[in-house]
Structure 1
Amino acid sequence: MSAVLTFTPEGIYCPAGDFHIDPWRPVPRALITHGHADHARSGMGHYLSTDIAAPVLRHRLGDIPIDTIRYGESRQIGGAQVSFHPAGHVPGSAQIRVEVAGEVWVVSGDYKTVADGLSDPFEPVRCHAFITECTFGLPVFNWTGQQDLTAQINGWWADNAEAGRVSMLGAYSLGKAQRLMHLLDPSIGPILTHGAVEGTNAVLRAQGIALPDTTLVTPDLDKAAKDRAIVIAPPSALSGTWAQRFGASRSSAFASGWMALRGVRRRRAADRGFVVSDHADWAGLNEAIKATGAEKIFVTHGYTSVFRRWLEEQGYDAHIVSTEYEGEGLDTPDTEAETP
């Protein structure tokens, strides 16, 4: 098998096309899977992303030189044929298919296999080699179904509203926050948002992505606006001074795959933990890898050693690649998390 992609100090590189995918150092040409900060960084000479992801990239990185491509559209870059396919992670997220001389490699970026009603659903792409995350590459990670998750969150919110408590839900400002909004029952009360979340909401709404009505939290927000409210904010904002404006009568919760581990919620001093992620769980990872038909698998960020051994036991030619991608971390500051 030829090396369609190589792994360099700058990131994943395609020699035939002279481009990098989600590089973590400045390079002349970068193909970007999605807008999260660990995959989309400033300083690149030129960017290429899906047309859906581009507005968020501009929102986060500024006036960057960027071209766009639609899902499924094929483009020749040097000696490589490239196409972007839905990853199901966040709106506009993509797996990047690279073909050189008949050899096909796919870089998945971050992905999940469960449709969330917001992002284009994950699309398996047949390939010879598959580069996959394994953020949650252990059998203990098994996400709550969408229907049960909806009931859990709305039940928690309704109980708090009846007791006169403000509900504060920690979720990343791009993707998960909007996914959770889709599950909320607005008849319970108003949906309030942190500035980082509302900024992303505005970008997505401008693209025609439907989101429920929300109100930006400002210093002069009156008490009546907080009555029976749920507040969606980056996880880091829930433990800082920003959250104190809602008074002592509040209940905090985190929506994260890490809530599947005992003790995490306790260490975060959260009242509730909802087991959900925009990354694939154990079953999703295995399902996605099998669907590619690939024999060669590269695992990047997550439980790489354990997951590689598992894949080898299943008959795959599996390898670990060291990257600077971060996966999902409760203590990782989200982009713009400190926006008031």
Structure 2
Amino acid sequence: MAKPLLEFTDCGIYCETGRFYIDPWKPVDDAVITHAHADHAYWGHKSYLAHHLSKEVLYYRLGDINLQTIEYGETVTKNGVEICLFPAGHVIGSAQVRVSYKGEVWVVSGDYKTEDDGISTPFEPVRCHHFISECTFGMPVYQWKPQAEIFTDINNWWRNNKEQGIATVIAGYSLGKAQRILQHLDLSIGPVFTHGVIENTNEALRRNGVTLNPTTRITYETPKEEIRKGIILAPPSAIGTPWIRKFAPFSFGYCSGWMALRGAKRRRAADRGFVLSDHADWDGLVSAIDATGCEKVYLTHGYTASFARYLNEIGFDAREVHTLFGDDEDINAQDVDLKDTVTSEESTLSFGEGRGEAEEASL
């Protein structure tokens, strides 16, 4: 029996024929990177291949690495194996990796979402025999509202805070979520101020040619009265720190797919939880997998056991695989109890909606 084109090893997803790894978590000679989040792009590889729009963020995060970048649809051949990148829609520069050799086609999706967020290149289904997929939100309770509704709520909340004379702080991961929020804020309300980690990421993306709305980095010299006129973009790591407390009184909002669950909002001590994720919801996962026409599905992280069981019940050949991919934000699935489903106006999700019984990493 012939060996599969891709294998799951203790270093990462490996192509023995091509002699390269995809998103390896231990140092290797040749790494193909789906996107620049820390659970997929590790330091220490001898060479890296990624999408062009990940270039400056990878340099910012990993230092002076040996990096080759290509565009979507461009093909690179390694030892006879063809590698081509396709949009994943997860964050700016995120890619699915199509690997093909002698008619056998695999796609490693990394992380992805199927809704067009207006800033990342939208997800494209890629036909293949084998599809390697996340399932961060692989339970029917996770059904995202259109993002236009979420940003209407965010902008109304910000406007109301300003009218009441209190500051507005909104938290989201520094790569992906922060830029998505930034691009959909109503700047007629006021300016946007940023934590240094987010602004460093913004600057890296701008160096890469990405056009972002204007922002102002918060420094010790930034007048507090000026900050109060705008909105503050903060990473999850800033929650509860002296940095964020100096803006009091403020209203704190958290953007995450986990905000669909009451318990997650409570642990974040958020005044408002906005259900906004850079991962596919239940319907997105099922539709994306179906669109590949694949023969086999491999689930790398998230609700792998229950989602694999569901896929097998509806006719797919699906199984769990062990990887070190996971939560690229701050809360993980193991911290969440499904009985904590939110029923307030912030989420209309209810346990049991969707195709089955019910249950981020990019929040």
TM-score by length of 1: 0.95
| Cα distance, 1:295 vs structure 2 | 1.6
Give the whole-Å Cα distance in 2 for the aligned partners of 1:25 and 1:159.
48
Matches within 5 A, 1:305-316: 305-316=305-316
Aligned to 2:356: none
Contact 2:89 2:112 in 1 (8 A): yes
Matches within 5 A, 1:137-152: 137-152=138-153
Aligned to 2:117: 116
Contact 1:2 1:103 in 2 (8 A): no
What whole-Å deviation, never above 9, does each CA across 1:26-75 have from its counterpart, x for those lacking one?
Answer: 00000000000000000001000111111111111000001111110112
2:132 partner letter: I
**Structure 2 unaligned blocks of 5 or more:** 333-363
Aligned to 2:270: 270
Aligned to 1:327: 327
Matches within 5 A, 1:34-45: 34-45=35-46
Give the whole-Å Cα distance in 1 for the aligned partners of 2:30 and 2:69.
13
Aligned to 1:106: 107
| Cα distance, 1:2 vs structure 2 | 5.1
Matches within 5 A, 1:159-174: 159-174=160-175
| Cα distance, 1:85 vs structure 2 | 0.5
Contact 2:56 2:207 in 1 (8 A): no
Aligned to 2:237: 236
The alignment partner of 1:76 has SS state of strand
Q: 1:328 to 1:138 in 2, by over 3 A?
A: farther
Give the whole-Å Cα distance in 2 for the aligned partners of 1:131 and 1:142.
22
RMSD (Å) for aligned C-alpha atoms: 1.2
Aligned to 1:246: 247
Give the whole-Å Cα distance in 2 for the aligned partners of 1:330 and 1:18.
33
2:265 partner letter: R
The alignment partner of 2:262 has SS state of coil
1:157 partner letter: W
Residue identity over aligned pairs, in percent, reads 53
Aligned to 1:193: 194
Give the whole-Å Cα distance in 2 for the aligned partners of 1:254 and 1:313.
36
| Cα distance, 1:297 vs structure 2 | 0.1
Give the whole-Å Cα distance in 2 for the aligned partners of 1:261 and 1:321.
26
| Runs of 4+ with deviation above 6 angstroms | none
Contact 1:160 1:228 in 2 (8 A): no
Give the whole-Å Cα distance in 1 for the aligned partners of 2:138 and 2:327.
11
| Cα distance, 1:209 vs structure 2 | 1.5
Aligned to 1:337: none
Give the whole-Å Cα distance in 2 for the aligned partners of 1:244 and 1:267.
17
Aligned to 2:21: 20
| Cα distance, 1:206 vs structure 2 | 1.9
Matches within 5 A, 1:209-220: 209-220=210-221
Give the whole-Å Cα distance in 1 for the aligned partners of 2:68 and 2:113.
25
1:255 partner letter: C
1:277 partner letter: S
TM-score by length of 2: 0.89
Aligned to 1:88: 89
Give the whole-Å Cα distance in 2 for the aligned partners of 1:208 and 1:53.
11
Aligned to 2:76: 75
2:191 partner letter: P
**Structure 1 unaligned blocks of 5 or more:** 333-340
The total of aligned residue pairs comes to 331
2:330 partner letter: L
Give the whole-Å Cα distance in 2 for the aligned partners of 1:312 and 1:167.
46
| Cα distance, 1:328 vs structure 2 | 4.5
What whole-Å deviation, never above 9, does each CA across 1:197-241 have from its counterpart, x for those lacking one?
Answer: 000111111222121111101112112311222111111202211
Aligned to 2:225: 224
The alignment partner of 2:246 has SS state of helix
Q: 1:194 to 1:215 in 2, by over 3 A?
A: same
Matches within 5 A, 1:281-292: 281-292=281-292
| Cα distance, 1:165 vs structure 2 | 1.0
1:199 partner letter: N
1:63 partner letter: D
The alignment partner of 2:159 has SS state of helix
